Amino acid sequence: DANPTTTRLATILIKIKPNIFFIILTLLLRIIIGTFIFKCCCGVFEWLLKTYKPDIYYRMLEMEFMDLKSKIRTVPHFPKEGIMFRDITTLLKDAQGFRRVIDEFVQRYTGVPIDVVVGLDARGFILGGAIAHQLGKGFVPVRKAGKLPAETISHEYALEYGTDKVEIHKDAIKKGDRVLIVDDLIATAGTCLAATHLIKKLGGEVVECAFLIELTDLKGREKLEKEGYKVFSLVEFEGE
């Protein structure tokens, strides 16, 4: 015969189990729904602020990225007199800072139809490669002339004194590919504009040009936007 105590215990457990399952399921649903509602509210608040109080929105955004700017070293008079060189190596060696930069880009482009990420020679390779990896996309380098081993196409562009040339492999971009261009810095936008010409020649479509740093006084953004390209940058610096 079954032990009465064991039987009663089994009966209690049978009654309790569905209740425990129901409680856990309810808690999980509340957490999921609460998180969803919270994100929706944050999104609506951000949209309202950006639409109706853009000055406050962009001031808050600038404060948010102030810590990233503090991790970027400024080297005076490099590579020539009068130039304030924005050195990102100090940011790259900071594990949290580097991760934050990549996460910001990845968050922006997650869900955006992109086929390939193009990085500009040379620091654009560091950022572009990491972003491409996180997005699960391929990476293509645009290099200075003579650096790529296979068949290339090139585009020459004007500098302050003289000209320069960039190249891309002929088979790097397929017709119809949607391309994200990434570089560490936008100044006069000469290199980036040259890269857009290469991508266009191969039949690709530039989704956006993304930069870690924008030198606002040099009007590179205006040149790209005049050609119809979207531009995004994480931090801004004044001056050259």
pLDDT of 17 above 70: no
Q: What is the largest CA-CA distance in the chain?
A: 101
pLDDT per residue as tens digits for the range 127-137? 999 999 999 99
pTM: 0.76
pLDDT, mean of residues 187-196: 96
For the chain, give the percent of residues with pLDDT over 70. 81
Give the active site residue among 81, 151, 160, 238. Answer: 160
Question: Catalytic annotation on 123?
Answer: yes
Whether the predicted pLDDT of 118 surpasses 60 = yes
Give pLDDT tens digits for 63-104: 556 689 999 999 999 988 989 999 999 999 999 999 999 999
Check if 99 is active-site. no
Q: Are 185 and 215 in contact (CB under 8 A)?
A: yes
